[in-house]
Structure formats: C-alpha cells, structure tokens
Amino acid sequence: MASSPSAEDDGLKKLARQRKVAVTKIQKSAAQLRCLMEDNSSLWASYPDELTPEDLQGHAKIIGLLADALKLIRSRCVQLQFMAFADPITPSAVGTVINEIATNMEYLPKGVGLYCPKFYTDAFFRSLLVPSQKIANTVISIVQLVPDQGEPMSPQKKNDMLRHLSVLADLVDSLMKKLDKGPRQLIIDEHITDTHDLLVDVISELNEWKDDSLEGLEDEIESAGDQQNVLDGDPSLASDHDVQSMVDEMVNTRTKIPKNNAAQIVERVDTCTKRLRLLALFCKAIIKRRMSILPKFPANSEVIRRLQCVIEVMKALQPEADELVHSFYELEMNKVDDFMDSMIKQALLLSKTIYHDWNDKPDEFTDWLAKFQGGLQGLAA
C-alpha cells in the first residue's frame, strides 16, 4: 500500500534534518583534522615520553576501528549513491546510511591523532592527515548531493556524485596503504629510495651531458675542416652550415662544455659523479643496515629524533642534487662546488646520527660508517 502524501512529506523533512545534522558532524570531524594540521607542538609535548601497555592496547583498538571505519565509509557512500539515484528515494533508508557515514567519520580525527609525531615521525603523521582531510571534504560533497525534497537527481548531480565517489575510493585506498605500510616503509620508499634514485639519475644525466659534449667537440673539429672545404668549393653554401648550427644550438636546452675549458669541466664531472655514487651507496646502506633493524612503532623519542634527521637530510639532498646539475649546465663551477660540499656535509651529519644502532650500541655498520666518514671528510671543502 502506497504511503500518503503527508507521510512522504514527513519522511522527506526528517531526511532533510538528518542530512543537515550529518553534514554538521562531518564538518566537525574535518575541523578537528584541520586543527591537527596546525602547529601542535604544545599538544605533542604533553604526551608522555613512553606509552604504557594500557595506552598501547587502547591505541590498537582505536586504530583498528579507524581501518574498519574507512572501509565502511567507502561502502556506505557507494550504497548511498544507488539510493540517491532511485526515483523515488526512500527517505528512511537514506537517512540511516547518512547517519552511519557521519558516525564513522568521527574515527578519522580520533585514529589519525594517535599517530602523533612524537611516536611515529611528523612525516608519517602528515602523510595520514592530508588524505584524511580530503576524505572528509569529499564525503561532505557526496552527502550534500543527496536530494531531500523528493526530486530526482539531475544528470549533472549524478555525474558529480560518481566523480566524488571515484575520488573517495582512491583516497581511502591510499590512506589504507599508508596505514598498512607504516612509518618505516614510508621513510624507505618516499625519502631514502627516492633520494637514491634521484642521485642515480643525476649521475647518468651528467655522464650523458659529458659524453654528448665531448662527441660534439669531436664533430666540431671535423666539421671545421669540412666547412673550409665547402668555402674553397662554393662560398654560398657556408651560410647553410651556419643556419644549421644556429638551429641545433636553439633546440639543445643544455649548454655544451666549451672546448677552451673542456678538460677541467670533464674532470669536475668525473669527480662529482664519484662523490654522488658514494652518496647513493650510503642511501642503500641505510636501508639495509639501519632501517631493516628499526624497532616497532610507536617508537621512543630518541629513535624518532634520529629518524627525523634521516628524513630531513634526504629532503635536503634532493633539491641540491637538482641544483648541482643545473649549475653544471650553466657552467657555474663555484655553485657546483658549493652544492657538492653541502651534500657531503649533510651526509656526514646523518652518518653521525645513525652511527650506532637503535639501542645506541656500536655494530658492524658502525665500522663501515667510520670508513665512510673518513672518505667523506676527505672530499668536503
């Protein structure tokens, strides 16, 4: 038996109220996430230096609820889409799903807030916080698209909802992967390995630049003789040769090594690539000898301090490596030396920070680092 118009109106009014309350709840969760993004050094300082077994048990429970909540939010938003596309909608069912989404959204700031920088590093904390904020904003957009006046959804709103659902699925997947990986793997993948790969690319690029320039110098010597032969035969052809040289120079974005200073610059390239190989080897060694024996998280403050140094040095090396290449192309050898020396000093700083194992005891890697430091100090200005 069909419901009466008054009953339908009451159902739609209730849905409108439920949607408004749900959006307010989700906006509150989003605001809490924004607060976590701000400078909360005083908040983190209030945390104890170590967590008790009871703390760890409570954290594990909430973190488990966070993972469950993310899965449920994604599935309920998909369910909401099917309900919203129906004509007519069922207000009571839609309202129930919206309430469930809003309730589970509360676990985002609660769960992410437990991964405080004091125990998990600032890098990992922020890697969770950014997608969490985007999830909250996307869910708000999805809920607000649900019709609450009984009208069918327009094609444009349907497309908007499908687009938001696709974004939400990607964000939830990304956040779940980060949670599964944990801080250790994030530091390895996004900082140490990225830096290692960049150093390898820089070495390859500098060697290619050197080889291309040397080949160009040989071609230039040969073409000089050919051009003289052309001039002896038909002077009018010389202009064609000049035009082609200008075109080649305009197309090539990298400055060639000048022939009047080729030997010194080639020597500088060779010296820098040797140093860069040593730094790339250092990155690999950190992963194998230090990150592989990293204790479980949440970690104590000293471990976090040392990990933060690893992250900061890796972040500093990447732009300096890019600037090093650019300085070579601009033939600014003073800047080349400055960037190379800075990179060596950064590596020296890090080698001292990770000199001992995570229990502050010497091991086999300590001996390796002693030799590494000696080699680096000989290279630094």
Write down the pLDDT at residue 242: 52
More confident site: 67 or 37:
67
Tell whether the model's pLDDT for residue 241 goes beyond 50. Answer: no
| pLDDT digit string, tens, across residues 153-193 | 889 999 999 999 999 999 999 999 999 999 999 999 999 99
Band (pLDDT 50/70/90 cuts) for residue 38 is confident
pLDDT winner (highest mean) among 6-20, 60-74, 127-141: 127-141
Domain ranges of the chain: 5-38+52-153, 193-379
Q: How many CB atoms lie within 10 A of CB 166?
A: 11
How far apart are the C-alpha atoms of 245 and 248, rounded to whole Å? 5
Whether the CB-CB separation of 167 and 141 falls below 8 Å is answered with no
Write down the pLDDT at residue 246: 45
Tell whether the model's pLDDT for residue 63 goes beyond 80. Answer: yes
| pLDDT digit string, tens, across residues 253-276 | 456 666 666 778 888 899 999 999
CATH fold of 5-38+52-153 reads A middle domain of Talin 1 (1.20.1420)
Write down the pLDDT at residue 37: 81
More confident site: 148 or 197:
197
Write down the pLDDT at residue 47: 73
Tell whether the model's pLDDT for residue 102 goes beyond 70. Answer: yes
Burial class (CB in 10 A: 0-12, 13-18, 19+), 92: exposed
